[in-house]
Amino acid sequence: MIIGTYVRHCEKVSSTNTVAAAMIRDQAPAEGTVITASYQDSGRGQQGNSWESEPGKNLLMSVILYPVMVSPADQFIISRFVSLAVHDLVAGHSPAARIKWPNDIYVGDDKIAGILIENSIMGDMLATTIAGIGLNVNQQIFRSGAPNPVSLRQVTGWELDLAAVTVDLIAALDRRYDMVIRGEAATLEREYHKALYRAGEWHRFSDDTGVFEGMIEMVMPDGMLSVRKRNGVSRLYAFREIDYIL
């Protein structure tokens, strides 16, 4: 076991990712160290967004890793394994769990978890990874204006034991990270694709050319999304170059 050998719980922090970065700077924490919090007053999301979470209701976690066996060109494998681990956990509560590229976790058309990966690179390897995970567990009213939030409480209809969910997620993360260490990248790619939201179906998207109908074909090893248009032409997209129309 690597992930979860040491778990530090904080009542209130700015952001568990920020605490993790300070620990890496000052304390040389062991690989797999997990930081959890009951509340963040400056929770961070992707693209500079904030992350809403009512005190004590949800899972807020950051994991510190030193994935030196991963080259910078292959760093999307970190997103894949973390997404799959959160998906494993959520799928245990709902068959409608999916991974929305690149690393949101959805139930149906609603977002139940977000992931913020912060990697540092040294030469030709990843030196450090901070994998921040926010999973909505027992919150029932969302105020931030996020378009489509949902929680496990809302999906299942009952209140969940947050400590038990935390233990289950740490176990899922450890299992999936073990696959990275063992070089099982192809299996991670296959299982990520199987869980991929809207893959292999025609849906509406928009890009710099406007709204179009397309079909997600695959996510490339470097994390680019391949989408085929009705005219048969496929195009690769980086994060934020394509929007899903719900």
Bridge partners of residue 212, in order along the sequence: 205
Amino acid at 19: V
Closer to ligand BTN by Cβ: residue 116 or 219:
116
Distance CA 234, CA 116 (A): 28
Cβ nearer to ligand BTN, comparing 34 with 70? 34
**Considering the rule CB under 6 A, would residue 16 count as an interface residue with ligand BTN?**
yes
What three-state secondary structure class fits 25? helix
At its nearest, how many Å lie between ligand BTN and the CB of residue 65? Answer: 14
One of 17, 83, 136, 139 touching ligand BTN (CB under 6 A): 17
Binding span for ligand BTN by CB under 6 A among 60-68, 159-167, 188-196, 208-216: 60-68
Q: State the Cα–Cα distance between residues 68 and 48, nearest whole angstrom.
A: 27
Looking at beta carbons only, is 4 or 235 nearer to ligand BTN? 4
Binding mask 113-152 for ligand BTN (x = CB under 6 A): -xxx---------------xxx------------------
| Residue 193, token pair as written in the block | 């694709």
Task: State which of residues 24, 32, 33, 51 lies at the interface with ligand BTN (CB under 6 A).
Answer: 51
Beta strands per DSSP E along the chain: 7-13, 34-40, 59-65, 97-100, 104-107, 110-122, 125-135, 202-207, 210-219, 225-229, 234-237, 243-244
- The size of the interface with ligand BTN (CB under 6 A), counted in residues, is 20
